Every structure is written in C-alpha cells, then in structure tokens.
Chains A and B, each alone.
Chain A
Amino acid sequence: MKTMGNRIALALGLCLILACIGFLVPQCIELARIERDIRHSETLRHRQKTVEPLEAELLRLASRAPEQGLEAPVRAPLDASKLRSLAELFENPARRLGLALIQLDSDVAGLSSAGYRELDVELTVGGSCSGFQRYLVELCRLPFLVELRHVTIRRTAADTVQMSVAATLSVRG
C-alpha cells in the first residue's frame, strides 16, 4: 500500500512537473516574442526620438518667412550682338539710382571668335554710398554676370565717392 502510495505520489509529481514544463515552455516562447516586440518598439521609439528634433528644426526652418525683395537671377549669356550697347546696360541702372557711370573698360577685342566667351569689364561710378550698394545689387541681377572680381569704394574728394567694379560677363555668339 505504501509502495502504491509512493508510486501514485511520484506519478502525480511527475505529471505536475510535466504540466509545469508544459506551461513553462509556451510562457518562455511568449516571453521571447514579447521581448522581440519590445526591442522592435524600442528601436522605433529611438528613431522617433532622433527624428523629432529634426522635424522640429525642419518645421522651424520651413516656417521662416522667405527673403523679401531678392530673387535668384536666371543666368544667361549676353548675346554678342548687344556688346555695342554694353555701356547702356551698365549706365541705365546707375542713372536710375542717381549714380553716374564715369568709366567703362572692356576687353572686347580679346574675345574668341565663336562659342562661349567671357568678357572682363571694369567700370567706375560716382555718387552716394547707399546708391553704390543698390547698384551692386542691380549688377548682381544681370543675367550675363559671371562674377565680380573686386569692388573698390574710394573717397576721391571731400564730398565725392567713386566705386570701381571689375566683373566678368558671359557672352555667346
């Protein structure tokens, strides 16, 4: 009887152990799945935390008001046929701003015969300092301007100021 009791107790114990193992294994699998999901969510959250300041910065940048009064000039070479009226191209804006075009030197003779060419010009205008800055802006808006090489503003007398500009123009044809 005692042996039978022992056997029954052992069998019951083994059954319970098997039941526990049978319960433990799915729990372990479930835990592994949850941990995998948590790692995935943490990765996503980490990315979100990384992107959030970027989004805020992008929003800040996007919400800034665009620059007023300036527009990006569309560059296009100067047609060679207009080289004759080159002085007018520089004098007209100067006149509108109350400046006087004093001198314009260009190396037209040095231009190559065909294709894309660049023309160096040097000009001098006289007037007020505020007019010089606006004139420079007008020069920069010229579509055939390649670059400004140097700008010199010089006081020539007690009440006269001159600005010399050396620029490179693109010429076609």
Chain B
Amino acid sequence: MAADSPNITGISSLWRSRRKASSGIAQAADEAGEAVGLYLSGQQAFLARIRSSRNRVPVVSEHLAVTLDPQPDRAAEELREHLRMIGGGRMPRRLWTCLQSPGMVLQALRVPQVRPSAMAAAAFWTLKKERNLETEDTVFDIERLRTVEEDGVSRIELLAVAVPKEELAEHQQLIAGLGAEAAGVSPPVFAFRNYLRLGYPELGRRPCAVLFVNDASSDVFVFQAGQVLAVRTLRTGLDSLRDTIVQTLDIDAGDPRVDACLKLLAGEVVDESVFGADAPPSAEDVFSWGRPVARRLARNIQRTLHAFEDTLEGSEAATFFVAGTVTRYQPLVSFLGDQMGLVLTPFTPTKSEFLQDVVEEGESPLEESGMSLAVGLALAESYHTPNLLFTYEDRQKLQSRTAIARTLRVTTTVLLIVLATATAALRYYVGVRRGHGKQLQRTVAKAAELLDEEKVTELARQVAARQMTTRGLAEAYYAPGVVAEVADLTPDAVHLLEIHVGFAPKAAAGQAKIAPKTSAGKNAAKKLAKKAAAAAAKEGARSDMVRMRGVLLGSKRRLDGILAEYIFRLQKSPFFHTPTLVEERLERTDAAYLAFGDKKSEQILFFTVEAALREQRPVRKPPVGGGQ
C-alpha cells in the first residue's frame, strides 16, 4: 500500500476458510457476528470486515486502506463509497470506530469488591476524586480487568473510560454524515488489545507494551495476559518535532517546507523547489533538529514504563511495539529504542501468522499499524470490548434482562416437560382407572341381575314366614319333642323308671300381664299372677327341667360306662344342658326278681339324672280372643 497508491481492496481468501480454534488458543471469538472496523488517521482511512463465530477464530473477510481527498466533502463521499463496498453494497450494520479525543480519560482504577450492578458507579466516583467529571456531561464505561490484593483487602482492578458527551456526539455526527450509524465506539487501546489477541496469541502468556505515538499526543498501553494492564497518555507528540522545524528554519507553521522536512526524515522523495534558493536540509539535519524532542519523548515514555518495571522490564519475554505516526520516521523509532534501551517492534500484521495477509509487501509501517487498528476495531464484535455507545451499565441491564429471559426460558422448558409428563401420565392413569371403573360397573351390573332385591325380599319374607311356622310348631309341640328326645337318647341298656318334664308357669304370668283393664279383668289378672307365683314356688328355682330316674343291670365297671355315655348323650342334645347325676346307688340283686333286663345280672345301679331344658320354649301367645 503505497501512500500515493489508489484504493486497494484485499480479499483474505486464506482467512475465509473457517478454522476451528483449539481450546488452548485464546483468539477464538467470544461472540458470533460480523462487524466492520473503521480507523481514520489524517487523510488515511482503514477499513476491515471481520466474520466470527463462537469458538472459532475470527476471519478477516475483507480489508481496505485508502487515502482520502484533502477536501472534506470529497473525502466524506469517498469514505461513504468505501463503506458501502466493505459492507457488501450497503452500509455496514455493525460499524465500530475509534475515538481519539484530548478530553478522553483512560485510567486504571481499583475499587472495593461490589456487586456487578454497582461497579460502574463505584468506578465513576473513584475516578471523580482525581478528575473533574460530571455525571451528566460524561459518557462513562469500564472494563473489569482482574481482582487484586491491596493491603490485604481484595479489590477489583478495572479500566475506566470517560469521554465528554459533546465529543462523543461530534464523533457520532461525523459518522452519521457518512450515512452510517456506529454500533460501537471504543478507544484505540481496545483495538490494539483485540488485534493482539487475534494476531499474537502467544502474547496472551507474556506482557507487552504498545507505544502509540501520534502528532498531538502519545499513549503507552501495557498489556498482560491478553488484558489491558495500564494506559498512560502523554501530552507530547510529533507536533513538537514540527514546532522544532518551524523554530529552526524560522518559518510559519503552515509553510510547505515543514512537511518537506518531515518527508525527508521519513526518507521520502521531496520536491526541492519548496526550499527555493536555499539548499534543502539533509535527513540527518532534520533528525538532529528533532533529536531533543525525541529524547524528551523517550524520557517521558521511560518514566511511564518505569511504573511497570516489575511487569515489563523485569521480563525478558516482554515485547515493545511501536505504532502511530512515529512509525513513519524510522530513524526516530530507532533513536527512541536506543534512548530507552528497548527493541521496538513495528506493530504490523506481517509479523503475525494469522494476519500477514491483510497487508502486502512493501507497505509502510504506518499503514500497517492503521490496518491493525481497523482490524482490532472490527474484532470488537468478536471479543468483549468497551463501547462508549453501549456502556457497562447498559450491558448490565441487558445481562439482567437476558438472565431473566434465560431463567424464564429454562423455567418454561422445565415446566413444559413436567406438565407434558404429568399430562401423559395422567392421561394413562385416567385410562387405567376408567377401564377399572367400567369393569367394576359390569361386575356390579352382572351381580345385580343375579341378585334381585325383590327376589331376596320375597325369599326373606318366605323364610321368615316359615320360621314363624316352625317356631309356632316348636312352641306347640315342645313337650312331645322333649319326651321323644329322651326316648331317642336312652340306650337299650338303660331302663327308665320315670321321666318327669317340668315347665315353668310362664303362661300364667304372661296372661296376667295381658289381662283386660276391666275390674273383672283386673281381678282375673291378680288371680293369675298369684297363681303363677304359687306355681313357681311349687316348681322350685329350676323351672324348665327334666328328671330321669332309671336302673342299669350288669357289672359295676360296665354300668359306670353306660351311665357316663348316657349323660354324655344328654349333654350333646340341643334340648338339654348341664345334665347332672343327682343320685347313684349300686345294689346287689337277685335275678329271680327282675322283670326286665339281663336275668344273669348280679348288680343293679339306681340313678337319677336331672337336666335343665334349654331356653327354646318361647312364651306362648294368648289364645285368639282370650281375655277380650
């Protein structure tokens, strides 16, 4: 890219191929997207388009370095065209630009451990103690760097960026004048950081510094482990060299001889006619004029670096890059390096394995460093980069909203899964229970057919009627039943002499209760009651009872067995209970006098057995019409 060359467009075909980043390489993109970076340095404009996807190395898909027309209107028109070209026929949607403002404050701060949402406010008030900042006049952004120990207290180290709102508004107006809208505005230090992260991944493990020396001011950026460690802005720039030339030649600042001298210092061809009759100075002359300026600049830079001696100078692996306008003057760069005792490496993509295609052979270091900045700005979408248009507080709000959305999404998903599972399970369970219910209903219906209520009621009525009949029969024929039971239970060997069945006078008492209420009836009732009491006294305490008196013939052992068996039979009968042997008498007998039984028997056993009748005999109802 020669200075007077026409616009050059480079397509990094090599970088179009998507390269999967290994986990150990730090330059993989944090975010996916496509962005364009624009860096303006005087009449020079540098544009780069980056395409990146998560976990992959970003690709420089297109880049462009142009020299704009000195006329502002023409320059704006040219730049608009180039922006459309780099945006693929339309204005880039994600355009990042660089803001270099004298009013910009870039400072590393240490704030107490606070929650993320309060960090921006803590940083602002910490910075306000040193700088005259006003909330309403300042756009403020921070980038968290690391956590450090300070006097035994854990603190957060961060990089604060503050820009007057007016300057940011002017910058936005400039971009808007091009017909574009900036998605992000960032200081150059982050463009360098992004560029280093992509182009020099090995620097992620060791420190480096970038001396960004321009006309108006100079910046010293210190990086460590891929992060910005410190930023120092010096008010001294190459304008001092221009002032020295003006003073030495005793000419006006706008005299063309000043630019001619600077070109001589840069080793470029100079039109000697601008010097007129005077002999033009040599490059060595110009360098000697500017030597005090360079020495003063070197001392300032050295003092700045001294603060980071432990980090940079103590490390043999530290790399010192030089970028900016100063790279145009190679003797000056060498002199600065000699003065500081450092090896200054031009900040150029050709030194990077990943980015060497974005410049071509023979391009000046100045243009190379400009393209580096453009690439670094375009990388802002790929790596987390402070954005003055979208500050830390905005990001916090977005993250909060994103966190809420994520929580909602996860909750919704979980709820959906749970509900779907519950729905399916419930549907299945309802089906199972419905089947069970139907089967049960069929069983009930089938049983209901067999079990007719009317039929059961009719059966119950019939059985009740039959039981009443049976009960009436039992009541009526109780006495013959008892006699028959005794006859059935009595074995042949037992000869009964007497059977006595006694019944309690229940009927008399019962009749007395139901006697009519007339005087005659009352008398009859009294009489019946008296009669019942007398009968009860006559029958004794045992009312319903049976007494059997009889004899047994044979030997004593045999007789006892027969008697025991007889009593056992009586005990098993449903008519009797507790049969008791109340008398037992064994006598010798003369067989000649026996009218029954074995005539050979020599012994006779007289016995008397009593048994109570079970409570089977119901109280008799009064005869129909009796008592009326």
* Among A21-29, A81-89, A96-104, the stretch in contact with B: A21-29
| Chain B interface, number of residues (Cβ within 8 angstroms) | 82
Contact A27 B423 (CB under 8 A): yes
Given known pairs A67-B470, A116-B627, the reply for A20 and B437 (CB within 8 Å) is no
Does B436 touch A at the CB level, under 8 Å?
yes
Contacts of B531 in A (CB 8 A): 118
Does A108 touch B at the CB level, under 8 Å?
no
Contacts of B558 in A (CB 8 A): none
Contact A76 B416 (CB under 8 A): no
Contacts of A143 in B (CB 8 A): 623
Given known pairs A21-B419, A118-B511, the reply for A147 and B503 (CB within 8 Å) is yes
Does B117 touch A at the CB level, under 8 Å?
no
Contact B527 A112 (CB under 8 A): yes
Quick one: CB contact mask for B530-559 with A, threshold 8 Å, 1 for yes?
A: 010001000100000000000000000000
Contacts of A148 in B (CB 8 A): 479, 503
The CA of A133 and the CA of B484, in the complex, are separated in Å by: 7
Quick one: CB contact mask for B496-531 with A, threshold 8 Å, 1 for yes?
A: 111111110111100100011010110110011001
Contacts of B456 in A (CB 8 A): 51, 54-55, 58
The CA of A10 and the CA of B407, in the complex, are separated in Å by: 11
The CA of A21 and the CA of B415, in the complex, are separated in Å by: 11
Contact A152 B447 (CB under 8 A): no
Closest to B439 in A: A41
Contact B409 A10 (CB under 8 A): yes
Closest to A12 in B: B412
A44, A117, A148, A149: residue with the most chain B Cβ atoms closer than 10 Å:
A149
Residues facing B in A123-143 (CB within 8 A) are 129, 132-133, 136-137, 139-141, 143
Residues facing A in B465-501 (CB within 8 A) are 466-467, 469-470, 472-473, 476-477, 479-480, 482-484, 487, 496-501
Contact B451 A42 (CB under 8 A): no
Does B54 touch A at the CB level, under 8 Å?
no
Contact A38 B433 (CB under 8 A): yes
Residues facing B in A143-173 (CB within 8 A) are 143-144, 146-155, 158-159, 168, 170, 172
Does B625 touch A at the CB level, under 8 Å?
yes
Given known pairs A70-B477, A133-B483, A149-B505, the reply for A158 and B470 (CB within 8 Å) is no
Contact A34 B473 (CB under 8 A): no
Contact A170 B626 (CB under 8 A): yes
B626 touches which of A38, A54, A155, A172 (Cβ 8 Å): A172
Does B462 touch A at the CB level, under 8 Å?
yes
Contact A27 B451 (CB under 8 A): no
Given known pairs A21-B419, A115-B521, A146-B507, the reply for A74 and B624 (CB within 8 Å) is yes
Contacts of A92 in B (CB 8 A): none
Contacts of A141 in B (CB 8 A): 476
Residues facing B in A27-62 (CB within 8 A) are 27-28, 30-31, 34-35, 37-38, 41-42, 44-45, 48, 51-52, 54-55, 58-59, 61-62
A14, A27, A150: residue with the most chain B Cβ atoms closer than 10 Å:
A150
Residues facing A in B398-450 (CB within 8 A) are 405, 408-409, 412-413, 415-416, 419-420, 422-423, 426-427, 429-430, 433-434, 436-437, 440-441, 443-444, 447-448
Given known pairs A24-B423, A133-B484, A151-B500, the reply for A62 and B462 (CB within 8 Å) is yes
The CA of A31 and the CA of B498, in the complex, are separated in Å by: 78
The CA of A44 and the CA of B451, in the complex, are separated in Å by: 12
Contacts of B455 in A (CB 8 A): 55
Contact B409 A115 (CB under 8 A): no
Does A109 touch B at the CB level, under 8 Å?
no
A149 touches which of B451, B535, B596 (Cβ 8 Å): B535
Given known pairs A10-B412, A67-B470, the reply for A155 and B496 (CB within 8 Å) is yes
Contact B459 A41 (CB under 8 A): no
Contact A41 B511 (CB under 8 A): no
Give the Cβ gap from A108 to chain B, nearest Cβ, in Å: 15
Residues facing A in B595-628 (CB within 8 A) are 595-596, 620-628
A59 touches which of B429, B459, B501 (Cβ 8 Å): B459
Contact A72 B521 (CB under 8 A): no
B405 touches which of A6, A16, A34, A54 (Cβ 8 Å): A6
Given known pairs A58-B456, A116-B516, the reply for A73 and B483 (CB within 8 Å) is no
B430 touches which of A27, A45, A58, A146 (Cβ 8 Å): A27
B482, B503, B623: residue with the most chain A Cβ atoms closer than 10 Å:
B623
Closest to B460 in A: A58
Contact A9 B433 (CB under 8 A): no
Contact A38 B523 (CB under 8 A): no
Closest to B459 in A: A58
Contact A48 B625 (CB under 8 A): no
The CA of A168 and the CA of B511, in the complex, are separated in Å by: 12
Contact B625 A172 (CB under 8 A): yes
Contact A76 B508 (CB under 8 A): no
Contacts of A37 in B (CB 8 A): 437, 441
Contacts of B433 in A (CB 8 A): 31, 34-35, 38
Contacts of A137 in B (CB 8 A): 477, 480
Contact A72 B473 (CB under 8 A): yes
Give the Cβ gap from A8 to chain B, nearest Cβ, in Å: 11
Closest to B467 in A: A61
Closest to A45 in B: B444
Given known pairs A6-B409, A55-B459, A146-B511, the reply for A77 and B516 (CB within 8 Å) is no
Given known pairs A20-B416, A148-B479, the reply for A116 and B515 (CB within 8 Å) is yes
The CA of A24 and the CA of B459, in the complex, are separated in Å by: 50
Closest to A146 in B: B507
Contact A154 B441 (CB under 8 A): no
Contacts of B500 in A (CB 8 A): 150-153
The CA of A133 and the CA of B477, in the complex, are separated in Å by: 10
Given known pairs A21-B419, A74-B624, the reply for A66 and B451 (CB within 8 Å) is no
B437 touches which of A34, A75, A114, A136 (Cβ 8 Å): A34
Additional 6 contacts, C-beta under 8 A, given A153-B483, A153-B500: A3-B405, A71-B473, A112-B523, A112-B527, A118-B528, A136-B479
**28 contacts across the A-B interface (CB closer than 8 A):** A10-B409, A21-B419, A31-B433, A35-B433, A41-B441, A42-B440, A48-B451, A52-B451, A58-B460, A62-B466, A64-B466, A66-B466, A66-B469, A70-B477, A112-B520, A112-B524, A115-B518, A116-B516, A116-B524, A118-B531, A139-B479, A140-B476, A147-B620, A150-B502, A151-B482, A151-B499, A152-B500, A153-B498
Smallest CB-CB A-B distances: 8 pairs = A158-B595, A13-B412, A75-B623, A20-B419, A72-B472, A58-B459, A136-B480, A147-B507
Interface residues, chain B, CB within 8 Å of chain A? 405, 408-409, 412-413, 415-416, 419-420, 422-423, 426-427, 429-430, 433-434, 436-437, 440-441, 443-444, 447-448, 451, 455-456, 459-460, 462-463, 466-467, 469-470, 472-473, 476-477, 479-480, 482-484, 487, 496-503, 505-508, 511, 515-516, 518, 520-521, 523-524, 527-528, 531, 535, 539, 595-596, 620-628
